């Protein structure tokens, strides 16, 4: 049961099952590792909108790994215990043209820096968000040979952006190649279910993971266990909720977020851009019903406790 | 600030803004009312699958109302405080051919009775579900003249099936006709976000509501405040989560629920039909991300605390 360390000095920016592992471990071993932020270190706590607009793009998320787990074989399940996630005191959120749920309605780039204290984050003095760090990307090498972008998640995991993969959670991933070849990155200090503007609180993290195998236990796609959904503090003042009905779930989602942005602008004195950022980092999307044909409902939940 | 009582003896089974109110109240008044279950009283705690299959169908939800609120005008917001919801010790869940998220995979009808204690429900001795009663249907008369089925929700509210409209919540509805003409029904003792098999724990309820007006405050669609999403008991043992990725959110949803049914059958000794019922009454659908093109992720959350 060794403990290993893997720095963020070497990263890979695509999925490719022919990549050589940086580290090979035994089942039961723990790895403490560093993940770069999604900008690959280009942005800092002092960055501006101009820095955000001028950063290099086009390459994928910088991922720490691959880590090979001895004995892992296709058809096994890789068990990843998420033991600890630590931020480094800052993060950023931004959106850019052509990306995000409401790309057509936000044609200009926007960018903000978050100051992160121990377990709270802020980008305006009147907003304090409870932090719940997780890695947006966790995955194993895909089954198919070749080079794949990191942006879209798939059966091997990858850029899942599931906000409840927090400390204390356990992720189950199907194994497709010998050794599994696990990689991780895209740390978020907080994010709402949906990540609607395309980014959470993007942050470099220090991550502690422990790995196990479940031989010959096949999963079709990633599954996980999470111990808690909401802290008592996050629930403390209830939730304001907007709803959107439509015959298409994506359109339901757009309506619910549009109404939430209007609500935040009107009642909480935010700009439309700040409201969109807050929807992406703090508002949770739930599918309220998918059976009352022809109209489904998606609802957007805003925790009232974030307003100081 | 009068308190009124409205029995469930007279109901209406469609939306129609020409219906005469059964009760006219002032803003600030409270109404205690009875709602019939979705079968319109055809089913009882002793009903069988055969009774379920042979019940009359084709008519809409039986709704208690309309209630006119004096002074309500188009363009106002009707505020509905949900003060109390009480079940009557029993409920039912069922699905039938052609209806529900996985209609093609469940071609036969299925039906079960729930025994409801104070705040817990059970349809098998090894499952105890925390109850969180709410009304599946709450709405005002629609803007358009004519007769409309109750099944699909719309801007006037209606069959929203939003599980967090529980005791202590406040619903905000746009008013379309003078008096608003509020109606309510389709009580559920519990339901998961999604209501995937098409029914929750369908139950007759006693409901206490208080009404207010916000003049000339227009909402495009219903919005609400809810004080709590999950009780400490519901969170107590964490959540097992399945995920589904796809380029279509509905297909994401189907995959996540299919995987959850497989999980429940394999690890909790349920039949596929019982698992589908449990997904509809206890499992919550969240949109994890809608931005990592071309693959979105919907996740299905199972509270582990329901297993005795």
State the ipTM, two decimals.
0.97
Residues with Cβ within 8 Å of residue B47, at least 6 apart in sequence = B92, B111, B113
B195/A291 Cβ within 8 A: yes
Backbone dihedral angles phi then psi of residue B215, each to the nearest 5 degrees: -60, 140
Comparing CB atoms, the residue among A153, A220, A290 nearest residue B253 is: A290
Q: Do A241 and B286 touch (CB under 8 A)?
A: no
- Token match 């803003």: residue? B27
Torsion of the alpha carbons at B68, B69, B70 and B73, rounded to the nearest 10: -100
Please give, rounded to a whole number of angstroms, the shortest distance from the CA of A155 to a CA of chain B.
8
Contact A35, A87 (CB under 8 A): no
* Number of DSSP helices (H) and strands (E) in chain B, helices first: 4, 18
Question: Is B33 buried (19+), middle (13-18) or exposed (0-12) by CB count in 10 A?
Answer: buried
A224: chain B residues, CB-CB within 8 Å? 240-241, 243
Across the interface, of A197, A229, A298, the residue whose CB is closest to B230 is A229
Integer Cα distance of A188 and A195 in angstroms? 11
pLDDT given for residue B234 in this prediction: 86
Tell me if A194 and B290 make a contact (CB, 8 A cut-off): yes
- Coil vs helix vs strand at A245: strand
DSSP-assigned letters across all residues of B143-202: SS-S-B-SSS-BTTEEE---TT-BTT-EEEEE--STT--EEEEEEES---TB-TTS--SB
Instruction: State CA B251 to chain mean position distance.
Output: 22
CATH of B232-306, one of 3.10.28.20, 1.10.1040.10, 3.30.300.30, 1.20.1070.10: 3.10.28.20
| Chain A residue at shortest CA distance from B194 | A289
CB–CB of A229 and B226 under 8 A? no
What count of other Cβ atoms lies within 10 Å of the Cβ of residue B64? Answer: 28
Beta-carbon contacts of B79 under 8 Å, excluding residues fewer than 6 positions away, are B170, B171, B172, B211, B212, B213, B214
Residue A104, C-beta contacts closer than 8 angstroms, at least 6 positions apart:
none
| Cβ-nearest to A224 among B163, B227, B241 | B241
Report domain B3-218's class: mainly beta
In angstroms, the separation between the Cα of residue A242 and the nearest Cα of chain B is 5
At residue A234, the pLDDT reads 86
Work out the minimum CA distance from A14 to partner chain B, whole angstroms. 15
Taking only Cα atoms into account, the Rg of chain A, rounded to an integer number of angstroms, comes to: 19
Instruction: Report pLDDT digits (tens) over B27-58.
Output: 999 999 999 999 999 999 999 999 999 998 88
Q: What is the Cβ-side half-sphere exposure of residue B135, based on CA atoms within 13 angstroms?
A: 34
User: A272-282 vs A249-268: helix axis angle to the nearest 10?
Assistant: 120
Q: For A194, which of B240, B285, B289 is closest by C-beta distance? A: B289
What's the rounded Cα separation, in Å, for the pair B77 and B176? 9
From chain A, pick out residues whose CB is under 8 angstroms from the CB of B96. Answer: none
Query: Which residues of chain B are modeled with pLDDT < 70?
Result: none
Q: What is the spatial distance between Cα A229 and Cα B302, in angstroms, rounded to a whole number?
A: 11
Instruction: Name chain A contacts of B151, Cβ cutoff 8 Å.
Output: 292-293
For the beta carbon of residue B5, count every other beta carbon within 10 angstroms. 10
Chains A, B: CB pairs < 8 Å: 207
- Measured in angstroms, the CA of A223 and the nearest CA of chain B are apart by 5
Check CB contact under 8 Å for A286 and B289: no
Instruction: Say if residues A256 and A286 touch (Cβ distance below 8 Å).
Output: no
Chain A positions in Cβ-Cβ contact with residue B235 (cut-off 8 Å): 228-230
Predicted confidence at residue A233, as pLDDT, reads 84
Which sequence spans correspond to the domains of chain B? 3-218, 232-306
Determine, for residues A289 and B244 on separate chains, whether the beta-carbon distance falls below 8 Å. no
Query: What would the two tokens of residue B61 be?
Result: 């939800």
**Structure tokens belonging to residue B151:** 């099944």
Give the best residue of A291, A293, A307 to mutate against chain B (max B CB count within 10 A): A291
B-chain residues near A194 (CB < 8 A): 287-291
Between chains, do A286 and B288 touch, taking CB under 8 Å as contact?
A: no
Chain A residue numbers with beta carbons less than 8 Å from the beta carbon of B223 are 240-243, 259, 263
Tally DSSP H helices, then E strands, for chain A: 4, 18
**pTM exceeds 0.95, yes or no:** yes
- CB contact under 8 Å between A160 and B288, yes or no, is yes
How many CB atoms are located within 10 Å of the residue A230 CB? 20
Dist CA B169 CA B81 (whole Å): 6
Of B230, B238, B290, the CB nearest to A250: B290
Residue B258, SS3 per DSSP: helix
Please tell me what DSSP assigns to residue A301: E
Report the residue from A154, A229, A301 with minimal CB separation from B295.
Answer: A154
Q: Give percent helix, percent strand, percent coil of chain A, each to the nearest 5.
A: 15, 40, 45
Distances (CA, A) of B106 to A270, B58, B111: 47, 20, 12
Q: What is the pLDDT along chain A (308 residues), one digit of tens a residue?
A: 899 999 999 999 999 999 999 999 999 999 999 999 999 999 999 999 999 999 988 899 999 999 999 999 999 999 999 999 999 999 999 999 999 999 999 999 999 999 999 999 999 999 999 999 999 999 999 999 999 999 999 999 999 999 999 999 999 999 999 999 999 999 999 999 999 999 999 999 999 999 999 999 999 999 999 999 988 888 899 999 999 999 999 999 999 999 999 999 999 999 999 999 999 999 999 999 999 999 999 999 999 999 99
String of b and e for B213-247 (b: at least 16 CB within 10 Å)? beeeeebebbbbbbbbbbeeebbeebbbbbbbbbe
Tell me what pLDDT residue A231 has: 84
Interface touch A198/B241, C-beta < 8 Å: no
């Amino acid at each position: 049961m060794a403990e290993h360390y893997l720095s963020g000095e070497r990263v890979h920016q695509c999925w490719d099952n022919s990549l050589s592992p940086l580290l090979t471990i035994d089942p039961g071993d723990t790895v403490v590792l560093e993940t770069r932020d999604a900008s690959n270190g280009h942005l800092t706590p002092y960055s501006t909108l101009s820095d955000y607009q001028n950063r290099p793009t086009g390459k994928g998320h910088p991922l720490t790994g691959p880590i090979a787990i001895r004995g892992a074989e296709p058809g096994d399940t890789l068990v990843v215990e998420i033991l600890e996630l630590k931020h480094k005191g800052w993060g950023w959120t931004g959106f850019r043209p052509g990306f995000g749920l409401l790309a057509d309605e936000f044609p200009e780039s926007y960018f903000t820096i978050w100051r992160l204290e121990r377990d709270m984050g802020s980008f305006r003095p009147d907003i304090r968000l409870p932090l719940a760090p997780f890695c947006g990307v966790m995955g194993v090498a895909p089954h198919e040979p070749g080079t794949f972008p990191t942006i879209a998640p798939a059966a091997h995991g990858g850029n899942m952006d599931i906000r409840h993969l927090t400390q204390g959670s356990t992720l189950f991933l199907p194994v497709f190649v010998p050794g599994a070849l696990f990689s991780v990155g895209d740390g978020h200090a907080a994010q709402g279910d949906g990540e609607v503007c395309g980014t959470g609180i993007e942050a470099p993290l220090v991550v502690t993971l422990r790995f196990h195998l479940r031989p010959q236990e096949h999963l079709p796609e990633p599954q996980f266990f999470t111990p808690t959904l909401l802290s008592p503090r996050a629930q403390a003042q209830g939730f304001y909720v907007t709803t959107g009905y439509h015959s298409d779930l994506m359109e339901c989602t757009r309506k619910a977020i549009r109404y939430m942005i209007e609500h935040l602008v009107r009642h909480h004195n935010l700009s439309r851009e700040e409201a969109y950022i807050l929807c992406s980092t703090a508002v949770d999307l739930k599918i309220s019903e998918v059976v009352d044909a022809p109209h489904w409902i998606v609802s957007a939940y805003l925790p009232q406790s974030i307003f100081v």
